[in-house]
Structure formats: C-alpha cells, structure tokens
Amino acid sequence: MSETGGYDAHALHGFAHDSIAHGSKSFALASQLFDRTTRERVWLLYAWCRAADDLVDGQDHGGPMGAGHDAKAALTRIRALTDRAFAGEPTGEPAFDALGLLLTEIAIPCAVIDDIIAGFELDADDWRPRSEEDLLRYAYHVAGAVGVAMALVMGVDPADATTLDRASDLGIAFQLANIARDIAEDAAADRCYLPDEWLAELDIPPGQHMHPAFRSRLSVMAKWLAEMAEEYEASARWGARKLRPRSRWAVLAATGIYGDIAREVRRRGDRAWDHRASSSLAAKIGWVARAGWSVLRRPPQRRIGREGLWTRSRAEKGT
C-alpha cells in the first residue's frame, strides 16, 4: 500500500479510474493520452466532481434521480467533507479522499473549488436561467471552473490568467453541448437550462418547451447553444497551445469528441432528442489521431481572440 499524507494512493487511484470509466467513456478515453502522473491526478479530480454532482442530484454516475432527495443536506455534506479534504484530514469517503490526495500534490486554490461547489448550489436551489448571461454563469460554475482546476492539474501556472480563461472556455463549451443534448432528459426531471428570455423570444410558454408543437422552435435554441459552444471551443483550442504536448493531445482529443455532441444535436434538427446524441468509437479514435497529428505540427500562430466571450471574473462580481 502506498501512503501519501495518510491516504492510500493506490486504492484511491483505482477508485478514481473506475469512476471516470463508469461516468464518461469520452473523458476516460482522452485521459489515457496524459502521462501517468497527470492522468492519475485528472482521475482524482474527476472522481470528486462526479461524486459531489451525484450527491446533489441523488444519482449514481448520472443515473436516474432519486425521489425525495434532500439536495440541501447533500450540499452541506459536500462542503463539510471538502473542507476536511483541504485540511488534509482523511474522510473515509473515497471521492473526497481523492481530492485530499490530489491537494497533497497540486495547489488548487480554495476559490476554484468554491466556484465549482457554487454550481452544485445552483442545482440544489432548482435554479433556472433568465438570460443568456445567467446561462453562461451557470456553465462556468458547473464546468468552466472544473476546466480551470483541470488546467492547474496539468501544470498551468495559477498566475497565468489568460490560459486559465481559455480552460474555463473549454468547460463552458462542454456544458453548452450537454445542455443542448439533455433538454429532454432535464425536462423529465423538471429542470430547464434554456433562458427564459430565449423561450419568450420564440413564444414558447414556460414549461411547455418539450411539447411536439414547439419542437421546431426548440431546435432553433439547440442551434444557438451549438453555435455558442463552437465559439468557446475555438477559444479553448487556441489556449491549449500553452499545455505540455501530451496534455495538449488529451485536451484537443476531448475537445473534438465532445464538440461532436453539439454538432450532432444541431445536425439532427427537430429529431435531436429522439435518442441521446453521442460520438461513435470510430469518431473518437479519429479525434485522438487528429489531435495527435496537431500536436506534432507547429502550434497555430494566428491568435483566436476572446472578444465577446463570458469571462470568469464576472463570477466574482455575481454578474
């Protein structure tokens, strides 16, 4: 048994590997491209994020939501266990000990983890966006902040705000793709992440967006989400040039694989939610190959700007 700061590193790495393998085949595949140390650290962070998200939703790796679940109590538990992880105190809960082990190796500012937990709080409050700004703020908290934490795990300097903004962009792109793909699943769970202003603009009554009569209008919003995701994806691709080669390979592969989800939803139009959009194994392998080739080439020199994109500093202002 390998002990690090009172943690059983071998057992926690195994737990974290099982978590990502069960929770996301796409991320699990992309994570294999990292060097071993980075890969295991990415798994540890994923395991904490996955477990905390499941605790709030009363799920198991994104499965059906449990009836009568107390999300507020779950949020209190997440905060208490996460505080213990930051204090270096083993909790006996593998996912939180995974974070504790990670923090013995990587300095992730508490503010970054707090931003992620703020996303869990929004879900616990059954929060819904009124505006596009609200939507992007939510996407930052539930995914963009995770992108920032992942960048730190990959060795990005905490003072490199420019690269961390690009990492946040990647998480936001992933979340926008998720929202577009999961509109029907979210509606079944009485959740909606489509801004009220969008629904009003397309004359869709509140709570009625899944009615067949509005399917064509719903596909318009899915197209908006996909187009937004592509803008953030492009920014993140440019930012990945600052990563070490193997980390860049993994990130670019994941970017392509996940980006295909938004592109597939847009391609399907009105039939986007007949069955869950996903990327085939062949397509995933194709993105791994393309990402590997791009790493071997000279990084792109034409700067892709971030003008008009949501910036994580807005989260500090609550706007």
Task: Give tens-digit pLDDT for 5-50.
Answer: 689 999 999 999 999 999 888 899 999 999 999 999 999 999 999 9
Q: Give pLDDT, residue 278.
A: 86
Q: Cβ distance 120 to 183 under 8 Å?
A: no
Distance between CA atoms of residues 53 and 132, nearest Å: 23
Indicate where the chain has its CATH 1.10.600.10 domain(s). Answer: 108-319
- Is domain 108-319 given the CATH code 1.10.600.10 in the classification? yes
Q: Is the pLDDT of residue 228 over 80?
A: yes
Between 314 and 51, name the one with better pLDDT.
Answer: 51
Task: Give tens-digit pLDDT for 89-140.
Answer: 999 999 999 999 999 999 999 999 999 999 999 988 889 999 999 999 999 9
- Degrees, nearest 5: CA angle 134-140-142: 100
CA 265 to chain centre: 18
Q: Give pLDDT, residue 314.
A: 81
Element containing residue 8 per DSSP (H, E): strand 7-8
Q: Is the pLDDT of residue 251 over 90?
A: yes
**DSSP bridge partners of 118:** none
Distance between CA atoms of residues 11 and 137, nearest Å: 36
Distance between CA atoms of residues 61 and 24, nearest Å: 9
The average confidence (pLDDT) of the chain is 91
**Tokens 């202002």 found at:** 317
Q: Give pLDDT, residue 1.
A: 46
What CA–CA distances, in Å, run from 260 to 33, 59, 162?
A: 19, 26, 26
Q: Is the pLDDT of residue 64 over 60?
A: no
